[in-house]
Amino acid sequence: MGYRALFDFSATGEWTRPRGRGLTRFLGQDWKLAYVFVLPMVLLMAGLVVWPFINALIISTTALNFLTGETTNVGLRNYQRLLTSSDYLLAMRNTISFTMWSMAIKLVTGMTIALILHSRMPLRNLLSAIMLLPWIVPEIVTALAWKSIYDPLFGGLNPILQGLGLIDQPLGWLSDPQMAMGSVIAVNVWKGIPFYTLLLLAGLKAIDREQLESAEVDGASTVQRFRHVTLPGLRYTLIVVLLLSFISTFNQFGLIFLMTGGGPGGATRLYSILAYEKAIGSLQYGPGTAIALSVAPLMALLIWLLAKILRADDRRSRSGGRGIGASITGAASRAWSWMLDMIFLPIDLVFRGGERLLVWVSGLIPGWRDKPAFNTSQRSRAQMFLRLLVLLPIMIFVLFPFYWVAVTSFKTTPQISARTSIFWPDPATGEQFRSLVQDTPFLIWFGNSVLVAAVSTVISVAFAALAAYALSRLRFLGAGLMTTAVLIVYLLPGTLLFIPLYQILSEIGLINTYGALISTYPTFLMPFATWVLIGYFRTIPIELEEAAMIDGASRLYAFWKITLPLAMPALLSVSLFAFTTAWNEFLFAFVFIFSESLRTLPIGLQSLVVGDILPWGKLMAASLLTAIPVALLYAYAQRYLVEGLTVGAVKG
Q: Which of 63-77, 336-350, 431-445 has the lowest mean pLDDT?
A: 336-350
Helix (H) or strand (E) holding 41: helix 31-45
The pLDDT of residue 315 = 44
Mean pLDDT (the chain, rounded): 81
- In order, the DSSP letters of 302-321 are HHHHHHHHHTHHHHHHHHTT
The pLDDT of residue 313 = 44
Cα(411)–Cα(578) distance, integer angstroms: 34
Beta strands in 530-598 (DSSP E): none
**388 within some domain:** no
> 48 and 95: one domain?
no
Q: Is the pLDDT at 270 greater than 70, yes or no? A: yes
Q: Is the pLDDT at 258 greater than 70, yes or no? A: yes
Q: ω before 522 within 30° of 0 (cis)?
A: no
> 48 and 189: one domain?
no
CB-CB contact of 558 with 33 (8 Å): no
pLDDT tens track for 221-240 = 677 777 777 878 888 788 88
> 86 and 152: one domain?
yes
> 287 and 215: one domain?
yes
Average pLDDT, integer, range 373-395: 72
CB-CB contact of 514 with 599 (8 Å): no
The pLDDT of residue 345 = 65
Cα(246)–Cα(76) distance, integer angstroms: 27
The pLDDT of residue 402 = 92
pTM of the model: 0.81
> 93 and 49: one domain?
no
Average pLDDT, integer, range 155-182: 91
> 54 and 164: one domain?
no
- Which of 117-131, 258-272, 341-355, 567-581 has the highest average model confidence (pLDDT)? 258-272
Cα(455)–Cα(136) distance, integer angstroms: 20
For residue 644, the tally of other CB atoms under 10 A from its CB is 26
**259 within some domain:** yes
Cα(107)–Cα(600) distance, integer angstroms: 33
Distance of CA 462 to the CA centre of its chain: 22
CATH of the domain at 551: 1.10.3720.10
> 37 and 175: one domain?
no
> Pick from 440, 417, 430: which is nearest to 624 by CA?
430
Residue 511 phi, psi dihedral angles, 5° rounding: -65, 145
pLDDT tens track for 140-151 = 889 999 999 999
Distance of CA 499 to the CA centre of its chain: 21
> 151 and 97: one domain?
yes
pLDDT tens track for 496-513 = 888 889 888 998 899 999
> 53 and 80: one domain?
no
CB-CB contact of 272 with 299 (8 Å): no
Residue 96 to residues 160, 185, 295, 589: CA-CA distances in angstroms?
A: 31, 12, 11, 26
**585 within some domain:** yes
**351 within some domain:** no
Q: Is the pLDDT at 433 greater than 50, yes or no? A: yes
The pLDDT of residue 372 = 54
For the chain, what is the domain count?
A: 2
Q: Is the pLDDT at 397 greater than 80, yes or no? A: yes
> Pick from 640, 644, 612: which is nearest to 154 by CA?
612
Question: When comparing pLDDT for 106 and 646, which is higher?
Answer: 106
> 39 and 149: one domain?
no
> 104 and 50: one domain?
no
Question: When comparing pLDDT for 30 and 454, which is higher?
Answer: 454
Beta strands in 298-423 (DSSP E): none
- With both helix axes pointing from N to C terminus, report the angle between 479-491 and 296-310 in degrees, rounded to the nearest 10: 130
Distance of CA 67 to the CA centre of its chain: 43
Cα(408)–Cα(396) distance, integer angstroms: 17
CB-CB contact of 113 with 197 (8 Å): yes
**326 within some domain:** no
Q: Is the pLDDT at 370 greater than 70, yes or no? A: no
Question: When comparing pLDDT for 312 and 613, which is higher?
Answer: 613
Residue 15, strand partner residues: 9
Count of alpha carbons within 13 angstroms of residue 168, beta-carbon side: 0
The pLDDT of residue 200 = 86
pLDDT tens track for 579-637 = 988 998 998 999 999 998 999 999 998 888 877 678 888 989 998 898 888 777 776 66
Domain boundary among 310, 337, 359: 310
Domain boundary among 310, 338, 353: 310
Range of the domain at 506: 30-59+440-652
**94 within some domain:** yes
The pLDDT of residue 630 = 79
The pLDDT of residue 348 = 60
> Pick from 117, 106, 103: which is nearest to 391 by CA?
117
**374 within some domain:** no
Q: Is the pLDDT at 650 greater than 90, yes or no? A: no
Confidence of residue 137 (pLDDT cuts 50, 70, 90): confident
For residue 405, the tally of other CB atoms under 10 A from its CB is 24
Count of alpha carbons within 13 angstroms of residue 448, beta-carbon side: 26
Q: Is the pLDDT at 108 greater than 50, yes or no? A: yes
Question: When comparing pLDDT for 487 and 371, which is higher?
Answer: 487
The pLDDT of residue 198 = 83
In percent, how much of the chain has pLDDT > 90? Answer: 31
**205 within some domain:** yes
In percent, how much of the chain has pLDDT > 70? Answer: 81
> 495 and 599: one domain?
yes
- The DSSP 8-state label assigned to residue 346 in this structure reads H
The pLDDT of residue 572 = 85
Domain boundary among 310, 341, 358: 310
Q: Is the pLDDT at 319 greater than 50, yes or no? A: no
The pLDDT of residue 420 = 75
